[in-house]
A and B are shown apart, each in its own frame.
Chain A
């Protein structure tokens, strides 16, 4: 099973700042990595797929990069609605696995 480790566990920033979230895989997943956003009481929402492609309707301030074992989700300038929990997910190998999440909170 591929383990995804996200860091940091919690990130405290202010609106307008840049956020950088990390996801590291225990073995190469090529570009088979996605990022999801989850707000309290809501289902997750797909943000980025295939490591760097924005999903439909996702604002341009969200970007993804990386391949192999190291991946980054960047939010260029935080909006109030961006404060949420973010998960990475791989589908390179079965079972499909998720990272433990990064909580992005308002400083």
Chain B
């Protein structure tokens, strides 16, 4: 069974840092593009970043460029999101999502998703 389990969320002050992790199991992690998608409380979905199978390509939404870094460790079947200089508007549930298909040359659709981890930025 494919599983994605996020961790690392919590309460952090504005300007602070947090590192999210996503533990993957049930599939060949190194064969898939992976992504982070977030959802502010009561709001819609916002794609944050994605990363190619070997980590050689990474893309970000403009609002997090220079502050967030996506990375992966294929030996540990894990995806990460390092979040620095956090702002109140970064408050959201952060979902880890796998691409629908393996070995895609470019990003595919998000399937499946993890259950998410809540990040709250507040003083």
| CB <8 Å contact, B59 and A49 | no
Chain A residues lying within 8 Å of B100, measured Cβ to Cβ, are 46, 49, 55
Overall SS of chain B's interface? strand
Q: Does B88 interact with chain A (Cβ within 8 Å)? A: no
How many A residues have CB within 8 A of the partner chain?
A: 21
Q: Which of A45, A55, A89, A94 contacts B59 (CB 8 A)?
A: A94
Chain B residues lying within 8 Å of A43, measured Cβ to Cβ, are 95, 112-116
Q: Which of B46, B59, B108, B114 contacts A98 (CB 8 A)?
A: B46
Q: Does A97 interact with chain B (Cβ within 8 Å)? A: yes
Count how many pairs of residues, one from A and one from B, have CB atoms less than 8 Å apart in the complex. Answer: 59
Q: Which of A35-58 contact B (CB under 8 A)?
A: 36, 38, 42-46, 49, 55
Cβ-closest chain B residue relative to A35? B109
Chain B residues lying within 8 Å of A99, measured Cβ to Cβ, are 44
Min CB distance, A102 to chain B, in Å?
10
| CB <8 Å contact, A45 and B113 | yes
| CB <8 Å contact, B44 and A98 | yes
Show the binding face of A for B, using Cβ within 8 Å. Answer: 34, 36, 38, 42-46, 49, 55, 87, 89, 91, 94-101
The 8 closest A-B pairs by CB, nearest first: A43-B113, A46-B111, A96-B47, A98-B45, A49-B109, A34-B109, A95-B61, A101-B44
